Amino acid sequence: MPGMHPVLAGHTGFLLSRVGGKARRRFAARLADVGLNFRMWGALSVLDAEGPITQQALGRCVGIDPSSMVATIDALEAAGLVERRPHPSDRRAHALAITPAGRATLADGRRLAADAQEELLSLLSAEERGQLHQTLLKLATA
Amino acid sequence: MPGMHPVLAGHTGFLLSRVGGKARRRFAARLADVGLNFRMWGALSVLDAEGPITQQALGRCVGIDPSSMVATIDALEAAGLVERRPHPSDRRAHALAITPAGRATLADGRRLAADAQEELLSLLSAEERGQLHQTLLKLATA
DNA sequence: TATTGTTATACTCTATAACTATA
DNA sequence: TATAGTTATAGAGTATAACAATA
């Protein structure tokens, strides 16, 4: 942003919050082109990688709490991208499954997410990107 | 966070959004001890550094839009930390000024913000912190 | 005409608490 | 007793549009 005051630009935590919000908004704006929001994209990505899984297990992987997960899966199911199937051994739970349409949308979503990331990080060298990624990974898993 | 899936942990943009949110929540939790939220702290910090300034000019420095600025200044004024004084040459505008109580609260806020940042970045070496800061600065000012 | 501050409004994201049906 | 999913709800945070007073 133009016009950020030096007294704030000196705070790493402030910058982190600011840049994080910018990243989220840019991702969301791109993903909206295929009808996904940030959380739908995350859930769909993990579901594709993991196969059938319960809502709450998926939520733990993506960082979405159980009650917020309901709305996320509702939206994905309404769009035909995910199915709630009966869980084979626990009648309380659902076995979530990505549909063929879900895989197709996810493929588009991946491209859009890659575009958004490229826009965001275009000023950084490959080395800077690598360092940033490693550092963020430490902070995220702490 | 424990349990973040590799397919998401591989996205720098996802990590940025996640860690940014974590930073914001931690700052907010600490600052709440002195009655400040994240935006009040930013506005108070810049106001202290800049002296009398209009609401919208302050908003541009902190990254708050004019309509959100109203509520932020309302809260600061209700707490006695800021005063809306008449602007000397423009009767539409206010000249915002930090009060002595505002300076005292800001001093506490600075300590709490420093604590929050230390908690957040404790896993990083001084060199990693410096690199992270420079990289975020590039991304924030782009 | 343009700008400052304001109000009303709405939308997103997130979290909490309570409920049901199962385990 | 505990857990999976659900519902209702509420609180941030943020943005938009329209307005009055003033430039």
Q: Does any strand D atom come closer than 7 Å to the Cβ of A55? A: yes
pLDDT for B54 beyond 60: yes
The arithmetic mean of pLDDT across residues A101-129, rounded, is: 96
Residues 37-66 of chain B with CB under 7 A from strand C are 54-57, 66
Q: Convert the pLDDT of each residue in A4-55 to its tens digit.
A: 999 999 999 999 999 999 999 999 999 999 999 999 999 999 999 998 999 9
CATH for B25-141 is 1.10.10.10
Per DSSP (E only), the strands in B25-113 are 82-86, 94-98
Instruction: State chain A's mean pLDDT as an integer.
Output: 95
Q: Residue B90 CA to C3 C1' — how many Å?
A: 11
Give the pLDDT band of residue A119 (cuts 50, 70, 90).
very high
Q: Convert the pLDDT of each residue in B106-124 to its tens digit.
A: 999 999 999 999 999 999 9
Nearest to B57 by CA among B77, B81, B79, B87: B87
Spell out the domain ranges in chain A: 22-141
B20 vs A contacts (CB less than 8 Å): 16-21, 23-24
The arithmetic mean of pLDDT across residues B92-104, rounded, is: 98
Q: Do A49 and B7 touch (CB under 8 A)?
A: yes
d(CA A58, CA A93): 12
Name beta bridge partners: A98. A82
Q: Residue B9 CA to C5 C1' — how many Å?
A: 44
Q: What are phi and psi of B110, to 5 degrees?
A: -60, -45
Strand C nucleotides within 7 Å of a protein CB: 3-9, 12-18, 21-23
Residue showing tokens 């840049």: A19
Q: Do A5 and B133 touch (CB under 8 A)?
A: no
pLDDT for A3 beyond 90: no
pLDDT for B1 beyond 70: no
Give the pLDDT band of residue A2 (cuts 50, 70, 90).
low
pLDDT for B43 beyond 70: yes
Give the pLDDT band of residue A86 (cuts 50, 70, 90).
very high
CATH for A22-141 is 1.10.10.10
d(CA A12, CA A8): 9
pLDDT at B2: 57
Q: Do B135 and A131 touch (CB under 8 A)?
A: yes
Q: Does any strand C atom come closer than 7 Å to the Cβ of A69? A: no
pLDDT at A113: 95
pLDDT for B31 beyond 90: yes
